[in-house]
Amino acid sequence: MLSISNGAGSLSSSQIRALNRLQELNSAIATNTQRLSTFKRINSAKDDPAGLIASSLLQRELTAAEAASENVTRASAVVSTADSSIGQIVDQLQEARSLILQSAGGGLTSAEVAANQVEVDVIIRGINSLAQVEFGGQRLLDGSASFRTEGVDNTEFTSVEVLSKSTADDVTVNVEVTSQATQATDTFSGTISSDTTLTIEGPDGSAVITLANGASDADVAAAFNSVAYLTGVDAVEDVGNGEVDLSTADYGSAAEINITVSEGTFTTDGGNSAAGSDAVATINGESVTADGTSFNVSTSNTQLEITVDPSASGTLTSFQVSGEGLQFAVGTNVANTLRVGMPVLNAARLGGPSGMVSDILSGNSADLIGGNSVTAVRVIDDAIEQATLAQARVGSFQKNALEPAGRLLNAQITNTSSALSSVQDADVARETALLTGNQLMQQATLQALSISSLQQEGVLSLLQFGAFRS
């Protein structure tokens, strides 16, 4: 039998193999134990160099996706805060409208109208307060988080709303009005020869009036104007021509006058029916038809809602769109961002062609005490429409931009985590089985080595005893 000396004797080749095997088992047990304690299959580069590189790349992607998901969650919170505030503004405008309608109905005393004016003033100041809402120190609805316009001529443009802007660069907007919007207009030039009952339908709604036999043009105009806050149809007596001119407050093809006679006779020059027409303009080289006087324009960089003054015609003053609004990172790439401009909803910016909500405050041009309830109703109606559309745009951004981005990131996090786990995580059941097997083999090897050592010691003792006898 081959043997080697270790200074105190010699080891057989089988003992050497057993010792080598024992060293291998000790190393394997140490690896099993480490993996079970860390739950990681790769604890150092030597465990799996290629797997280490793969897990590092996956970990980087996972970290980026988790950070982006947090950004989307915060962005959603910002937008939800704005949405809630806009909803409160709409509710306040509806409350103000109720008070204004009471005053416009003509059944209140001057003291009651004054009391309504006081309440409306409080509501308007409350709207200005709601427009100051903040999130993380950033005001949302006062213009601080909106896209900005510079160079807008207020005599040519009633309002310019920047709905979206995909670039940080300024964008120049050129507008040429080629066809002006018109109101629905009609004329009554007849006589009232019997008691007459009419249903008037206008852009704001319908109402019924009664004209007595022999009613004058002044009586007809007064009857129409008494329900103008309900119908949106105004009447003016043209004394020189002996007629009553009817017109809608609104402009465009949606502005219509329809008169139905249920008793008596009443015929206008237009056959009891008239409609306005929409404006047409060339905006940055593109021909656009308005909804009345409001143009919805989409370019490669911006989406705008431009409302021109009904009297504006020809080439208007150019203006610039600037600012970045609110920008949110919604992807694992820093270039993957979304921008949104929050609407400006203070009383000075809410309204339409008839005026702004701030005009309804006491002492201003559309206050209730001054007998301007009809104008105030139109202002409030325009403001409600404006605020409602703004809320819809904010909600659309959350639903169609932020929520899909969040769902995509959640799926990416799930899939990346699964891939990282398959590369990096230890198989606990497998490692436990290996550890148990390696420990059993370690014990068996130790026992075999111990038996071999005892046998070798016995042989050595016999040899020594024989030498002593001789």
DSSP for 189-239, please give it. -S---S-EEEEEEETTEEEEEEE-TT--HHHHHHHHHHTHHHH-EEEEEET
Quote the pLDDT of residue 464: 58
Task: In whole angstroms, give the CA distance from residue 399 to residue 6.
Answer: 79
Burial of residue 442 (CB within 10 Å: 0-12, 13-18, 19+) is middle
CATH number of 183-275: 3.30.70
Task: In whole angstroms, give the CA distance from residue 408 to residue 414.
Answer: 10
User: Chain-centre distance of CA 252, in angstroms?
Assistant: 30
Mean pLDDT of 423-438: 77
Task: In whole angstroms, give the CA distance from residue 376 to residue 177.
Answer: 29
Task: In whole angstroms, give the CA distance from residue 317 to residue 22.
Answer: 91
108-161, pLDDT tens digit by residue? 899 999 999 999 999 999 999 999 999 988 999 988 888 888 999 989 998 888
pLDDT value at 318 more than 90: yes
User: Chain-centre distance of CA 209, in angstroms?
Assistant: 45
Band (pLDDT 50/70/90 cuts) for residue 3 is: very low
Q: Tell me which residue of 368, 348, 349, 369 sits closest to 358, measured CA to CA.
A: 348
Task: In whole angstroms, give the CA distance from residue 411 to residue 400.
Answer: 17
Is beta strand 314-315 parallel, antiparallel or unpaired with respect to 3-5? unpaired
Average pLDDT, the chain: 87
Report percent pLDDT > 90 for the chain.
57
What distances in angstroms separate CA 30 from CA 16, 22, 432, one per listed residue?
Answer: 21, 12, 12
Task: In whole angstroms, give the CA distance from residue 458 to residue 452.
Answer: 10
Quote the pLDDT of residue 181: 97
For tokens 């089988």, name the residue: 14
Domain 51-146+326-424: which topology?
f41 fragment of flagellin, N-terminal domain (1.20.1330)
Say if residues 211 and 159 touch (Cβ distance below 8 Å): no
Quote the pLDDT of residue 34: 77
Determine the longest span between alpha carbons in the chain, in angstroms. Answer: 163
31-73, pLDDT tens digit by residue? 778 777 777 777 776 767 887 788 788 888 889 999 999 999 9
Mean pLDDT of 390-398: 91
CB within 8 Å of 335: residues ≥ 6 apart:
none
Task: In whole angstroms, give the CA distance from residue 302 to residue 295.
Answer: 13
pLDDT value at 5 more than 50: no
